[in-house]
């Protein structure tokens, strides 16, 4: 019946009575569900974006590796996933403004997949080095001389691998040559690197555009300044800053490499990973097989810096050479052999 025609009194306030539930309850519930839907959508989008980004990185990595490494197959027993490997790593001073190929960085690295560790032995660039058929000279001059003769970075690298293997009494599996432009690009891709600059550094050279001007203390360095920090030798500024020798530079190399390991695992490292991959690919020559490079990355991508043991070999400076300390060289050889055998290798602090 219609209350308006029956004479029944109207409901108080002209409103239909409701149950005891507060009036805003349904609205709050709807808002809660809307928020949860939004949150779930954002989570799904984040997963898709992250998954897509890492999918892109995987594609980028494969693209670079396939154009950098050789296409030879790798027997399962030689895979980096199961076999300890030794690598000669040379860093040349090549940059577009210099065009030179002196190996200012000379390292032999032993990797062990069972211990997820590595031992890195470095030699001063001015080391007096003698090789049958190539005479005697500074160790950093051998690669560019052989390269000039062969006109082939892979052949020149292979010869250096043999010479350095004989020097360290260790058969080296691979050789990789990375130039300084690649180093600068990698640091920039990681948005810089944090180091503790050990002294004021100032040097200028108009010939190759060098302009080193670093101040002592904690610093966040871009690629150009990080390279200057590693390479600094002497000052020609007024007032002059203190000079440094090969041993100082080796110590700085180790410091920067440790810092780069940290940076690579940071947010900036993840975001800049694609640029790092591209920078390395454009500036590297190697005899690694493409498949082996992928195995190396899969095995050591998350290596802890505490498991990377540095052993810089020093000696005595007698112009124009550094004469290597025989005891240190013997210890370095043993450290490499121990790493290959899976024995504990102590880290060296400077």
Asked if pLDDT for residue 23 goes beyond 70, the answer is no
pLDDT given for residue 24 in this prediction: 56
| 49 or 107: which leads in pLDDT | 107
Two tokens, residue 25: 């309850």
| 350 or 321: which leads in pLDDT | 321
pLDDT given for residue 280 in this prediction: 75
Percent of the chain at pLDDT > 90 equals: 46
Cβ contact 49:266 at 8 Å:
no
Q: What confidence tier does 1 reach under pLDDT thresholds 50, 70, 90?
A: very low
Q: Chain-centre distance of CA 328, in angstroms?
A: 27
Two tokens, residue 224: 């150009």
pTM: predicted TM-score of the whole model, two decimal places: 0.72
Q: Tell me the CA distances in angstroms from 297 to 65, 269, 288, 336, one per residue in order.
A: 11, 15, 12, 20
CA torsion, points 137, 138, 140, 144, in degrees to nearest 10? -30
pLDDT given for residue 17 in this prediction: 47
Query: Which residues lie below 8 Å from residue 122, measured CB to CB, with a gap of 6+?
Result: 105, 106, 107, 250, 253, 254, 310, 311, 312, 313
Two tokens, residue 283: 């500036």
Lowest mean pLDDT among 111-120, 152-161, 267-276, 298-307: 267-276
pLDDT tens figures, 120-130: 999 999 999 99
Helices (H) and strands (E) in the chain, counts: 11, 14
Helix (H) or strand (E) holding 252: helix 246-264
| 134 or 305: which leads in pLDDT | 134
């Amino acid at each position: 019946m219609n209350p308006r025609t029956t004479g029944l009194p109207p409901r108080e306030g002209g409103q239909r009575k409701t149950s005891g539930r507060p009036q805003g309850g349904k609205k709050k519930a709807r808002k809660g569900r809307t928020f949860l839907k939004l949150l779930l959508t954002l989570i799904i989008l984040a997963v898709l974006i992250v998954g897509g980004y890492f999918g892109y990185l995987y594609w980028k990595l494969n693209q670079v590796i396939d154009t950098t490494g050789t296409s030879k197959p790798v027997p399962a027993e030689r895979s980096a996933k199961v076999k300890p490997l030794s690598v000669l790593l040379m860093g040349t001073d090549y940059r577009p403004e210099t065009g030179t190929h002196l190996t200012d960085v000379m390292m032999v690295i032993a990797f062990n997949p069972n211990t997820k560790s590595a031992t890195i032995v470095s030699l001063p660039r001015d080391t007096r080095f003698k090789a049958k058929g190539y005479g005697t000279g500074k160790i950093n001059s051998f690669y560019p001389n052989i390269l000039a003769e062969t006109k082939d970075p892979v052949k020149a690298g292979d010869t250096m691998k043999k010479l350095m293997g004989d020097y360290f009494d260790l058969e080296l599996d691979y050789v990789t040559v990375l130039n300084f432009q690649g180093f600068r690009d990698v640091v920039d891709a990681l948005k810089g690197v944090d180091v503790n600059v050990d002294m004021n550094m100032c040097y200028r050279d108009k010939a190759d555009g060098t302009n080193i001007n670093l101040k002592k203390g904690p610093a966040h360095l871009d690629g150009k300044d990080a390279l200057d920090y590693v390479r600094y030798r002497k000052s020609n500024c007024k007032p002059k800053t203190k000079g440094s020798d090969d041993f100082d530079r080796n110590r700085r190399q180790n410091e920067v490499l440790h810092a780069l390991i940290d940076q690579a695992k940071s947010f900036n490292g993840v975001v800049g990973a694609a640029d790092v991959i591209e920078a390395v690919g454009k500036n590297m020559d190697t005899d690694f097989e493409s498949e082996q490079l992928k195995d190396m990355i899969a095995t050591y991508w998350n290596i802890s810096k505490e498991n990377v043991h540095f052993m810089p070999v020093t000696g005595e400076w007698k112009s124009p050479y550094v004469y290597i300390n025989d005891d240190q060289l013997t210890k370095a050889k043993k450290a490499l052999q121990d790493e290959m055998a899976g024995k504990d290798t102590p880290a060296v602090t400077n």
